[in-house]
Each structure stands twice: as C-alpha cells, then as structure tokens.
Structure 1
Amino acid sequence: MTALGFLYPGHSADDDYPRIEQLLGSDIRVDLVHTDLGEERHRIDTTAAGDAAGRLAAEVQELRHAGADAVVWASTSGGFVRGWDGAQDQVRTLAQAAGMPASSTSFGFVHAVRELRVRRVAVGAAYPEDVAQLFAQFLRSDGVDVVSVHASGGTAAAAGGWGEAELLALARASDHPDAEALLLPGTDLRTAAHIPALEKELGKPVLTANQVTVWEALRLADRRVNAPELGALFTREPIVQV
C-alpha cells in the first residue's frame, strides 16, 4: 500500500481526491488534511501570508502519523507567489517537519511539463491577472516557454462550483495554437472527471492542479500508475526522477 498525503486549503474541490483515488487502484491511498483557508486565496497579499511554512509544518503531523509516504501542499498559488526560491524553502521546511519527501502543486506543474516533454504551454487561470502572471513567471524560472496567459478572475469559491461547461469555456479561451499543452493551475477547480473531455476538445495534453498534485505525490513515492481517465500525464512512462 502506498499512502499519499495532501494538505488541501479549504473545501472547494476536495472531492477530486477520492475520485482520483478510485481511478488509481486499490493499493494507493489518498489522505487529505484540510488547512485553514483564511482570506481569499486569489489575492497576492493574503496568499503569501496565509500559508506560512511553519503552519504547514504543524498541520503535516496528522499525515505523518497516518503513515503517508509523501506529502504535497495542494495549493498552486500558495507556492508560486513566493517565487522560485521561496517555494523551494517552503517545501524544504515541509519535508523536514514531515520526515518524508515533500513538494507542492507549483513544482508538480514544473515536473509534469518535463514529463510530457513539452516546452511551450498556455495557462488558463481562474485568478486575477497579477496572480496568473506570477504563475507564468514561476514556470519561466524553469525554462518553460509560456506562450499565453488567460486570467478569468473570480474567487476560489466560485471556481469550485464550475462544471464541465465552464471548464471547457476556460480551456477554449486559454488555448493558443503554439502551445503544446494547456495548464489550469487552480486546485479549487473540480477537474478530475473532465480531463478526457478537455484533452479531446483541445487535441493536446491538459494539466490540471489536482491531477498534477496527485501525480507529484506518486512521483515522490516512486510509483508509476497508468490511468488514462486522468489524461495524457497518466499514460506516460517512466515518471521523471529529479
């Protein structure tokens, strides 16, 4: 049994995780600990202040006691708003406190882009423009060519209520003909049931935050899982080791 641990802010799309667990197989367990959402996460000031590494380190103890093999901080903006170095420090503190491999959704996107062997991506974010641009900057820090950024604005609570129609609309508005993949970074987007439809619509891989978060935990645990229902990312082997 491989146990994957996640620190998830709020409840917007937390039901993606048991759905993904069902698609992965009976020997993988997904454990979720909810963190304090605090103020609206789609603002730079509250996002940077609301997920201090010390608080995450305290909350990870529940996952450690549950026997998790790896832990991922499941907030994309909660990592990248700190910049590359700040996000690395956050993950390092989390790993030290947990006593296990640790990462964040932000780095999960970077590693997933490498896994797909693509360089040019488009970003579709249910963020304000300034936050979306910080995500693009984070990706560029690793050499990813971000060819377009679309920010739909809105709140985490609103994005959590979106269905397939809204996700498809975001994907269409965000795609770019030069992009080899589309990235949808918000962990408040409920996407686990819709990735095949999104990829069919665009004709290219689509990386979504909760999908990438679970894949990143599997990478840390050195597990390979073939789950086509979760998109192109879960049909490639081997998982990149970095």
Structure 2
Amino acid sequence: MTTLGFLYPGHFAEDDFPRTEILLDAVRLVVNHTDVDEDDYGTDTLMRTGTPERLAAGVAELQRAGVESVVWVSSSGSFLYGWEGAHEQTAALARAAGVPASSTSFAFVHAVRELDAARVAVAATYPEPVAALFAAFLHSAGIEVTATRAAGLASAAEAAAWDLDEVKDLVMAADRPEADVMLLPDTALHTVAHVTELERLLGKPVLTGNQVSVREGLRLADRRAWSPRLGRIFAEREAPPAPVAQWGAGRERAHTGRKGWSGRQTHSGR
C-alpha cells in the first residue's frame, strides 16, 4: 500500500480525494486541511495560504500517517509565488515533512510534459489577473498557452458550488483547436467525477487541479497507478516492445514493459 499526503486549504472540493482513492489500486490518500484566513481570490489572500509556516504546521498529521510524499494542493497558493518562489516553497515543505514534496502548480507542468503536449488552453475560475499569472508560470516552464479564459469568481466557495454544466461552459469557452490539452487549475472545483466526460466533450486530454495533484504524489513516491476513469493522464499506456534478446542455446526472450514516468524531477532537493 502506497500512502500519499496532501495539504489542502480549507474545505471545498476535498471529496475529490476519496473518490480518486476508490479508483486507484492499493493507494491511500491522506488529506490534511490547512487554515485559510479568508475565502476570496485576492492575490494577497491566496499567497497567505501558502506561507512556509502554514504549510509546516500541517505536516505533523501526514508524518504520523507514514506518507511517502506530500503535495501542497493549491495552484494559486503556489504559482503566485513565481517560478523560483514556488521552488523555494516546496523545498521548505520537503524539509518540514522529511519526504519529497511538490505543489499543484508543478503537478500541472509534469503532467503536461508526460502527455508530450506542446500547447495548452487554460480554463480558470479565478479573476483575470490571477489566471494570467498561472499562464505566466506555465510559460516559465516552457509551455505555450494558446488561450486563457477567466470566469472571474470571487471565492473558492463559489467554485465549489459549480455544477458540471458550468464547468462545461467554461472549458468550451477556453478551448482552441491548436491546444493539445485543457487545464483547469482551481483545486476548489469538483472535477474528478467529470474528467472523462470533459475529455469526450473536447476530444483532448483534460488536466484538473486535484487530479494532477494525486498524479504528482505518485510520481514523487515512484509509484505508478492507472484508472481510465481519471482521464488520459491515468490511462495505462504500453511501451513499444524492446528488441528480442538472445540468451541460451536457441532460446529467446522478449523484453516488454509498461511506459514509466518521464524523468524523475522533484522539488524536494532529492
């Protein structure tokens, strides 16, 4: 059993995690909720959710659970620190937790790379200035953003109250034919139950905040898990067969294997 730890700000769409755990084999997801001063999408408020002190205060429960990695489940609470600042944030979290650590913002970067995507579209619930900073973070990772659609919601509670039709409207407005992947960064948005339907609607992979956060926790723990109900990023893919290896007198053995992770890059100093 692989045990993964997640720090989640407040109480909005955290039920995405038990839903995900049911769909994965032999993976335990432990969620600890961090404090939130106010529920609004102002940049200062969002950045305060991700201070080193606040994150460090949340790791004790995860340590007691024996987690093998920790992910800070907040896109805005990480990308608003900028590329270098977000690295420093996760490095501090790794030191506090004593295991590899990352954040949802880096989870998006790694998931886009795993899908070998060159261009993405962003469907954000945030106000436009916050959504633009997420696009800038992706640019820092060398990812081209073809379009960004900002819904302009004022709080995480508003995002958590959205239904599937509202999510569909947002992704349809954000989509562009040249985009290889659609990104929905808000971890307060309920998406895990709808990923496959959104992918059918758009005809392309869809990456969402809580979904990629789990994928990131698995990556850090060197664990692979698959479930097509969690979208194409969790769809099992076979690697091309390796050349047949000759061994023994007239005997052959073919070496095949499943495609693993692209390079092992963490944000924990490991």
- TM-score (norm. length: structure 2): 0.87
For residues 211 and 40 of structure 2, the distance between their equivalents in structure 1, rounded to whole angstroms, comes to: 20
For residues 229 and 83 of structure 1, the distance between their equivalents in structure 2, rounded to whole angstroms, comes to: 32
Deviations 1:73-114 (A, max 9, x none): 000000000000110000000000100000000000000000
Deviations 1:8-44 (A, max 9, x none): 011110100000000012x110100001122234211
In the alignment, is the contact (CA less than 8 A) between 1:195 and 1:206 conserved in 2?
yes
For residues 103 and 148 of structure 1, the distance between their equivalents in structure 2, rounded to whole angstroms, comes to: 26
The answer on 1:131 being equivalent to 2:153 is no
For residues 239 and 124 of structure 1, the distance between their equivalents in structure 2, rounded to whole angstroms, comes to: 26
For residues 83 and 40 of structure 2, the distance between their equivalents in structure 1, rounded to whole angstroms, comes to: 19
Alignment of 1:48-87 (within 5 A): 48-87=47-86
In the alignment, is the contact (CA less than 8 A) between 2:4 and 2:28 conserved in 1?
yes
For residues 120 and 224 of structure 1, the distance between their equivalents in structure 2, rounded to whole angstroms, comes to: 25
For residues 230 and 73 of structure 1, the distance between their equivalents in structure 2, rounded to whole angstroms, comes to: 20
Alignment of 1:93-104 (within 5 A): 93-104=92-103
For residues 50 and 95 of structure 1, the distance between their equivalents in structure 2, rounded to whole angstroms, comes to: 17
Deviations 1:176-233 (A, max 9, x none): 1110000000000100110010000000000000000000000001111111000000
Give the secondary structure class of the aligned counterpart of 1:194. Answer: helix
* Residue segments in structure 1 that go unaligned for 5+ positions in a row: none
Give the secondary structure class of the aligned counterpart of 1:168. Answer: helix
For residues 128 and 116 of structure 1, the distance between their equivalents in structure 2, rounded to whole angstroms, comes to: 28
The answer on 1:42 being equivalent to 2:64 is no
For residues 50 and 231 of structure 1, the distance between their equivalents in structure 2, rounded to whole angstroms, comes to: 29
Alignment of 1:210-229 (within 5 A): 210-229=210-229
For residues 159 and 15 of structure 1, the distance between their equivalents in structure 2, rounded to whole angstroms, comes to: 14
1:10 match: 10
2:181 match: 181
* Amino acid corresponding to residue 66 of structure 1 in structure 2: A
For residues 184 and 214 of structure 1, the distance between their equivalents in structure 2, rounded to whole angstroms, comes to: 15
For residues 162 and 28 of structure 1, the distance between their equivalents in structure 2, rounded to whole angstroms, comes to: 28
In the alignment, is the contact (CA less than 8 A) between 1:39 and 1:50 conserved in 2?
no
Give the secondary structure class of the aligned counterpart of 1:207. Answer: strand
In the alignment, is the contact (CA less than 8 A) between 1:9 and 1:74 conserved in 2?
yes
Q: Matched residue pairs, number?
A: 241
For residues 239 and 232 of structure 1, the distance between their equivalents in structure 2, rounded to whole angstroms, comes to: 14
Identity %: 54
Alignment of 1:116-195 (within 5 A): 116-154=115-153, 155-195=155-195
Runs of 4+ aligned residues of structure 1 deviating over 3 Å after TM superposition are: none
* Amino acid corresponding to residue 177 of structure 1 in structure 2: P
Deviation at 1:50, TM superposition (A): 3.0
Deviation at 1:51, TM superposition (A): 2.1
For residues 239 and 167 of structure 1, the distance between their equivalents in structure 2, rounded to whole angstroms, comes to: 29
* Amino acid corresponding to residue 151 of structure 1 in structure 2: A
The answer on 1:203 being equivalent to 2:203 is yes
Deviations 1:157-192 (A, max 9, x none): 011011211111111011111100000000001001
Judging by fraction of residues, say which structure has more helix.
1
In the alignment, is the contact (CA less than 8 A) between 1:76 and 1:209 conserved in 2?
yes
Point out the more displaced range, 201-210 or 228-237.
Answer: 228-237
CA RMSD of aligned residues (A): 0.9
For residues 147 and 207 of structure 2, the distance between their equivalents in structure 1, rounded to whole angstroms, comes to: 15
Give the secondary structure class of the aligned counterpart of 2:193. Answer: coil
In the alignment, is the contact (CA less than 8 A) between 1:120 and 1:144 conserved in 2?
yes
For residues 108 and 10 of structure 2, the distance between their equivalents in structure 1, rounded to whole angstroms, comes to: 21
- TM-score (norm. length: structure 1): 0.97
* Amino acid corresponding to residue 260 of structure 2 in structure 1: P
1:239 match: 261
For residues 134 and 117 of structure 1, the distance between their equivalents in structure 2, rounded to whole angstroms, comes to: 23
